[in-house]
Amino acid sequence: MDVERYDRTRPAYPPELVALLIAAAPGREILDVGAGTGIEARQFQAAGRHVLGVEPDPRMAGFARRSGIDVEVAKFEDWEPQGRRFDLLVSGQAWHWVDPLAGAAKAAEVLRPGGVFAAFWHVPEPPDEVADALADAYRRLVPDAPIDLKNVPKQSADPYGPLIVKVADCLREAGGFGEPERSRHDWERVYTRDEWLDQLPTFGSLTWVEAAVRREILAEVGAAIDTMGGRFTARYATVAITAVRV
Burial of residue 11 (number of CB atoms within 10 Å: 0-12, 13-18, 19+): middle
Task: With CA atoms as reference, report the closest residue to 36 among 13, 53, 11.
Answer: 53
DSSP state of 126: -
| pLDDT level of residue 144 (50, 70, 90 thresholds) | confident
Q: Mean pLDDT throughout 24-48?
A: 98
CA distance 141 to 80: 45
The pTM (predicted TM-score) of the whole model is: 0.94
CA distance 78 to 213: 37
Indicate whether 102 pLDDT > 90.
yes
Angle at 38 between CA 33 and CA 40, to 5 degrees: 75
Least trusted range by pLDDT, from 31-45, 181-195, 202-216, 224-238: 202-216
The chain-wide mean pLDDT, for the chain, equals: 94
Q: Are strands 29-33 and 50-55 parallel, antiparallel or unpaired?
A: parallel
Give the pLDDT of residue 154: 59
| pLDDT level of residue 204 (50, 70, 90 thresholds) | confident
